[in-house]
Amino acid sequence: MGKESLSATETRDMMVAVADKIIEAEPILTDADRALGDGDHGVGMERGMNAVKEALASEEFTSVGKVFMSVGMAMMSSMGGASGAVFGTLFRSGGKAIKDSETFGAAEAATFFKEGTDGVMTRGGAKPGDKTMVDALLPAAEKGAEVADQPVCDALAAIAGAAAAGRDASEDMIATMGRAKTLGEKSLGKPDAGAVSVAIIAKTMADFAAS
Ligand SMILES: [Mg+2]
């Protein structure tokens, strides 16, 4: 039986599950970045998610937005580099937009992905089609707006599906920003590592809400 909405404590538990899943996926993310970039994405995300777990364990949360803001700040301060800045911005901007919410429902999920994606695009400068994490995030945000009146379990499942489709679509893009921009057409055939991370994050959120 899926969840209608999540409390702040459940939202915290969901993000701990996300952190565990990303840490477990370190080899996958390393390989994805090694194919097109310098290969540091997996280790960077693993470091960020270990900091996230520490931050989330040390605080009691009454606002769902503050859970995500705490995730973002932990990533920014621990990861360094472009990934730390843009993934940190995703969670901080998305969380800030719902900082007064006590529950995480589909409407909050829609706002989180919309404002988080806007933050990433502003901070990182990537547009759709540049073969970056934005190519998984923007479809997720657009889907979120369509499903904002559903139970959060169904909304997150739809959002995760859109993020996965966006990750797959990034395989057919020629990089014009980010890790692979100097490769040109040689970047074809592989997904962007940041888009792979986004898809894992969204899928783990959906799996948590489904249980
Ligand atoms: Mg890299």
| pLDDT tens track for 146-177 | 999 999 999 999 999 999 999 999 999 999 99
Q: What domains are defined for the chain?
A: 6-210 (1.25.40.340)
CA dihedral 74, 46, 109, 64 (to 10 degrees): -40
Choose among 193, 197, 196, 163: nearest CA to 180.
Answer: 193
C-alpha 99 to ligand 1 mean position (Å): 31
Radius of gyration of the chain (CA): 16
C-alpha 34 to ligand 1 mean position (Å): 8
C-alpha 37 to ligand 1 mean position (Å): 5
pLDDT of residue 86: 97
Residues of the chain with pLDDT under 50: none
